[in-house]
Structure 1
Amino acid sequence: MRDFFVERLGFELGTEIGTGPKFVTLDRDGQTIMLACHRTLGFRKHGWAAYFWVENIEALHDEFERRGAKLKSPITDKPYGCREIVAMAPDGREIVFGEITGTQAD
């Protein structure tokens, strides 16, 4: 899972604990995610696992494509005023990146 975040999503590796590893911190654009990597922790395998606010969704989408990240769909405008892309982690969890547009549907 660590390699997916570093190689496909462009995060920088921070702390790494345990063999495998079991836990890592990953940094990108001033945000840090703490990631439990051990499969026996009982995490759900489908649906979103993390959501990140971003400022330039188009540039991020282009970067992810260059890196070979598996994306669930193209950039999607949501009725709650965000534009989102969803990256699929190797274990099936969704990592969502959203940019606030300020335009909400009624």
Structure 2
Amino acid sequence: MPSPRLTSSASVLLVRDVVTAANHYRDALGFTYERFWGEPPDFVILKRDGLHLMLTLAPRGTAIVPHWQVKSGMWNVYFWVNDVDALFAEFQQRGAKIDYGLGNKPYGVREFGVQDLDGYDLGFGQVR
């Protein structure tokens, strides 16, 4: 019998407004979603290229603290991609907020970062 394997993962981000955040991910980053859960909406699963990202409503009054506010330059989510240059151009065309531009990093990755409406940094990189 084969050993159990992990087959995928999905990061979960706390957001101030699930619908507004989901629509931003759709419009600026090309994610899709099928439905919201809760009334009013408090959860959504975003999809792009077979990967998932979940957004859930932060309780009212809860501080949202993106990782970069705790450790400089740290992302909340990082995606490996097969054509980082084309993705960067797509995100620019969509009007995404580019946090840091496309560049070659000393750790052997060509990458860039974006920031979402709640201040989370998302990195996108391709091994060189």
TM-score between both structures, scaled by the size of structure 2:
0.69
Quote the Cα distance in structure 2 between the aligned partners of 1:42 and 1:100. Answer: 34
1:87 maps to what in 2?
114
Alignment RMSD: 1.8
Give the number of aligned pairs. 100
Identity %: 37
Deviations 1:11-58 (A, max 9, x none): 01144212453111111112111222x133654235222111110011
TM-score between both structures, scaled by the size of structure 1:
0.82
1:39 maps to what in 2?
58
| Structure 1: runs of 5 or more not aligned | 102-106
Quote the Cα distance in structure 2 between the aligned partners of 1:5 and 1:20. Answer: 19
1:104 maps to what in 2?
none
Q: CA deviation at 1:80?
A: 1.4
| Structure 2: runs of 5 or more not aligned | 1-20, 69-74
Please, which of 41, 56, 66 is the counterpart of residue 93 of structure 2?
A: 66
